[in-house]
Chains A and B, each alone.
Chain A
C-alpha cells in the first residue's frame, strides 16, 4: 500500500516535470524567434523600438483606457461647460433660445428645493446633502477606526469577524436599501418589534413610510449610509494598522502607556495618511449620495404623504434628465458645476487642515 502511494507520487511528479518541460521549451522557442526577429529588424534598421520615443509606446498601451475615459468622462466634463451657457436648452428637439453666462447658475441657486426649501416642503437638496455629509462621514470614520482597532486586537475568529464586517462591501446597495426599508417598516418591521420588546410604545411609528417625521427618515438614511460605507473604511484602516511596526507598541508597552494614549498618540498618527484619504474620498462620496435615497424612498426621494423631501444634490441634478423637468440639460450642468465647486472647496480646506495633522 505504502509502495503504491509512493509510486503514484513519483509518477505524478514525473508528469508534472514533463508538463513543466514543455512550457519551458515553448518559452525557449518563442524567445529564440523573438531574438531572431529583433536581430533581423536591427540589421535592416527597421526596429520600431528605436524609431519612436518612449511616450509613444506608453500612449499606445494606454489608448484603450483613454478612449473610454475620453468618451465617458472627459467629453461630458467639457460638454457640461458648453451646456451651461445655453438658455432654455431642450434636449428633445435640440433648441435653445439664446446664450447666457450666469443664467443657469442663478436659476439653480434660486430654484426652490435646491438651497431654499420649496413652499410645500420642509427641506432642500443642499440642506439634506450637507446633513448627510456632516453627520454620516465623521460618525462612520470614528466607528470604522474603533472597529478596526478592535478587530486588530482580537485573536480567535479574527478572519471570521473580518469577513462579517467586509460583507456589506460586496452586497448590492439597492438590496441593502430594500432590506433596511423592510427593517424599518411600520407594521412588523424589525426595529419596531425590537422597540416593542423593550416596552417602548411604537403604535404606527413610521420610519420610512407615510407620515414619517423628517428626522426619523433622515435617521434611517444616515444609519443606512454609515453602515453601507463602513466596510471599505474598516478594510483600509485594518490593513494600515496591521502595517504598523510592532516595535512601536512594544516600546509603548514598556513605557507603561495606557491603551487610550497608544491609540491617540501612536495608532492614529501613524495611519493618519489613510485617515486623510478616507475622509476626502468619503466626503466626496457622501456629496454624491443618490442610490441610498432611491433604495430607501424611491425616485421621489420622499416617503409618501409627507411635506418634505429627502432629495440630495445629485438627485436634484438627475431630475433634469428623467424627472419632472426632463430635458433641460443646461440647468443640470450648472447644478453639477456647483456641486463640483462645493466639493473642490471642501477638499482644499481638508488638505490645508491635514498639513499639520497628517504625518507621512
Chain B
C-alpha cells in the first residue's frame, strides 16, 4: 500500500513558548511494498515523523495518506499499522506466545486461526521454539524478533520500525539487518525504518530519506544518493570514512587546488565547496602531485593524509600502490566523482 506524506509539519512548543520545528513540511511518497529508511542525525525529527505516521503524535499541519485514505485524524488503533519500538516494549509479564497473540485478541479472528498465525509468524522470524519463554529469558536479538512478530501478526498495512537495531551488538545488528530485509521481502509489506546509522540504512533500504532539522534533504535509492548527493549535508552524512570537503576556487574553468590546476570544470568562476570521497582516489603516475603528511595501514587499505587548500584530506588507496617512505604521491580522481557545492545553499552544482 502506498503511503504519502503531504506538507507534514510538527512544531513542539515548550513552557517558555519557544517553538521547535521538529518536522518541517515533509512531502514524501512511499511506494507500495518498499522498505524505506528514514535517516538523519539525532534530533532531526525522524522518530517524530514515524510517530506521526503511527498516530501517536499529532501533526501540527499537513496530511498523511495510506493509499487513498486520509488517516491524519485517525486514532492509532484504526490505522492498521505495526510498530516496533526501539526497546521493543514487550510485555514483561507475558510469555512470547501471549505477547505475539495480544494484538489478535483485540481483533475479530477465530481462535484456531489466531494460533495458526502466531505459529506462522514465530516461524517466519525464527523463534518457533521459544514461545513459552518470558521476554526476560530471551537475548536482545530474540526479543527483537518477537517484537517484529507481534507487529506483523495482525497483518498491518504498514510496518514501522523505530531504531530497531540500536540495542543490539554489532554482529547481531548485521544479522538482524538481513533478517528484517528477508521478512520484509517475504511479506511484501510497506516498511519504514528509522535509523541514525547511515551504513545500516544504506544496506537495508530500497530507498531512503535523509532528514536534517526536520527538513527533507534527499529521497533516493541508497546507491544513487551516495553517488550523486543533492547537497553537502547528504554528501557528508553518507560514507565512512566521511567525504573530504574543502574550499576551492574555480578560475577560467579550472579548479585550483594548492595553487595548481587540479582539473578542468565547466563552471563559472568563484568559490565552491568541493567534496571528494576518500575511496575514489587512485594512485596514478600522471595524477595530481601532493605532499604526503601521514600514512596509515588499515587492513587491506592504506589511508594517506595530505593537505588540499589547508584542509586535511584523506585518501583510501590500495596498500600495494604506495610505499611508507614516499614523501609525495600522485593521485587522480574521476571527474564525475568530484562534487562542487554552492557556498551559500550547499546544493550540488556539478558532478560529472
Give residues in A with beta carbon < 8 Å to B.
245, 247-248, 250-258, 261, 265-266, 269-270, 272, 359
Query: Which candidate, B80-88, B204-212, B284-292, is the interface stretch facing chain A?
Result: B80-88
Residue with the greatest number of chain B CB neighbours at <10 A, chosen from A247, A258, A265, A359: A247
- Residues from chain A with a CB closer than 8 A to the CB of B87 are 245, 247
Please report the C-alpha to C-alpha distance between residue A270 and residue B79 in the assembled complex, in whole angstroms.
27
Please report the C-alpha to C-alpha distance between residue A261 and residue B75 in the assembled complex, in whole angstroms.
18
- Residues from chain B with a CB closer than 8 A to the CB of A269 are 91, 93-94
A264 shortest CB reach to chain B, Å = 12
B78 within 8 A of A: yes
Tell me if B106 and A250 are in contact (CB < 8 A). no
Q: Given A247-B87, A250-B56, A250-B85, does the pair A255, B93 have CB atoms closer than 8 Å? A: no
Please report the C-alpha to C-alpha distance between residue A360 and residue B78 in the assembled complex, in whole angstroms.
32
Task: Pick the residue among B76, B91, B92, B107 that contacts A253 (CB under 8 A).
Answer: B76
- Give 26 CB contacts A-B under 8 Å: A245-B87, A247-B87, A248-B89, A248-B91, A250-B54, A251-B83, A251-B85, A251-B150, A252-B102, A253-B76, A254-B82, A254-B83, A255-B77, A256-B78, A256-B106, A256-B107, A257-B77, A257-B106, A265-B94, A266-B91, A269-B94, A270-B91, A270-B92, A272-B93, A359-B92, A359-B93
B196 within 8 A of A: no
B212 shortest CB reach to chain A, Å = 26
Please report the C-alpha to C-alpha distance between residue A269 and residue B93 in the assembled complex, in whole angstroms.
7
Q: Is chain B's interface secondary structure helix, strand, loop, or mixed overall? A: loop
Render B52-68 as a binary contact track against A, CB cut-off 8 A, 1 for contact: 00111000000000000
- Residues from chain B with a CB closer than 8 A to the CB of A257 are 77, 102, 106
Please report the C-alpha to C-alpha distance between residue A247 and residue B84 in the assembled complex, in whole angstroms.
10
Further pairs besides A248-B89, A251-B85, A253-B77: 8, Cβ < 8 Å = A253-B76, A254-B76, A255-B106, A256-B78, A265-B91, A269-B91, A272-B93, A359-B93
Q: Given A248-B91, A359-B92, does the pair A254, B107 have CB atoms closer than 8 Å? A: no
Tell me if A247 and B93 are in contact (CB < 8 A). no
- Residues from chain B with a CB closer than 8 A to the CB of A252 are 102
Q: Is chain A's interface secondary structure helix, strand, loop, or mixed overall? A: helix
B4 within 8 A of A: no
B244 shortest CB reach to chain A, Å = 41
Residue of B nearest to A258 (CB): B106
B154 within 8 A of A: yes
Task: Pick the residue among A245, A255, A266, A272 that contacts B103 (CB under 8 A).
Answer: A255
B105 within 8 A of A: yes
- Residues from chain B with a CB closer than 8 A to the CB of A256 are 77-78, 103, 106-107
Please report the C-alpha to C-alpha distance between residue A273 and residue B75 in the assembled complex, in whole angstroms.
32
Please report the C-alpha to C-alpha distance between residue A223 and residue B89 in the assembled complex, in whole angstroms.
40
B169 shortest CB reach to chain A, Å = 22
Q: Given A254-B77, A257-B106, does the pair A270, B93 have CB atoms closer than 8 Å? A: yes
A137 shortest CB reach to chain B, Å = 24
Residue of B nearest to A245 (CB): B89
B48 shortest CB reach to chain A, Å = 14
